[in-house]
Amino acid sequence: MDRSRLEAFSDGVFAVAITLLALDLTVAGPTGHGSLTDQLHEKWPAFLAYLISFFMIGIVWVNHHALVRSIIKVDRTLLFLNLVLLLFVVLIPFATATVADYFSEDDWDTQVAMMLYGGVFLGMSAGFGAIFEWTLHGRRVYQPLPPERHWAARARFVGGGLVYVVAILVALFSAIASFALIALVAVYYIVERTPVYPGPGDAGSDQPVLLACYPDE
């Protein structure tokens, strides 16, 4: 099986999910809901959650992009691991909307909403980690990692997932601290780069010239 439809379908899901994020931003309309400025002002958690979720989906798309292009051949297992990743990506607009709706309340419900939010990111992180684990076995990528570097690479993924576990635990005590922690993760990921396999066409690659004909090069 070829990579291009896996990419096309995943890109479609990422694109729809990232655009649906803004659906929850709608204000209630002119009749009987207070002034527009007040409404926009009260919606700050919605805007912050939109911003965080937008960049989280964007980052996962960037990393997905980089990981998938290093893969030689798509098999059925990879397609289902990819579906698991997308299962959580599709839940992000729902989790974002729940945080946005409940954040101003500042009670147990707000903390539950934050746990849901952290949980969806944890699931997404686990789905991505499973795809990465798949790439470590057999001859599945153009330039495989040497076995002695497997554990160091895994440690990074587990570390990323642990931050979400901490964010979920922190939400048991303070929703706003949990929100701040997840926002920091988003900022960190924008600055730091996930190490990826060098793909065909990258510097150091010894792919023959004809590969320039492959549709995603």
Query: What part of residues 101-160 is at the interface with a copy of itself (CB under 8 A)?
Result: 101-102, 104-105, 108-109, 112-113, 116
The region of 137-145, 154-162, 169-177, 207-215 touching a copy of itself under the rule CB under 8 A is 207-215
**Lookup result for tokens 């890109």:** 11
208 part of the interface to a copy of itself, by CB under 8 A: no
119-144 burial, b at 16+ Cβ within 10 Å, e below that, comes to bbbbbbbbbbbbbbebbeeeebbbeb
Cβ burial of 193 (10 Å; 0-12, 13-18, 19+) is exposed
Strand partners, 67: none
Pick 5 or 149: Cβ nearer a copy of itself: 5
Residue 99 in the binding site for a copy of itself (CB under 8 A): no
Contact 96, 49 (CB under 8 A): yes
Q: How far is the CB of 181 from a copy of itself (least distance, A)?
A: 20
∠ CA 14-78-52, rounded to 5°: 30
- Nearest CA to 70 out of 3, 152, 158 is that of 3
Residues 163-202 that bind a copy of itself (CB under 8 A): 190, 193, 199, 201
Here's the x/- map for a copy of itself, 37-76, by CB under 8 A: it reads as x--x----------x--xx--x--xx--xx--x------x
Judged by CB under 8 A, how many residues of this single chain contact a copy of itself? 71
At its nearest, how many Å lie between a copy of itself and the CB of residue 98? 6
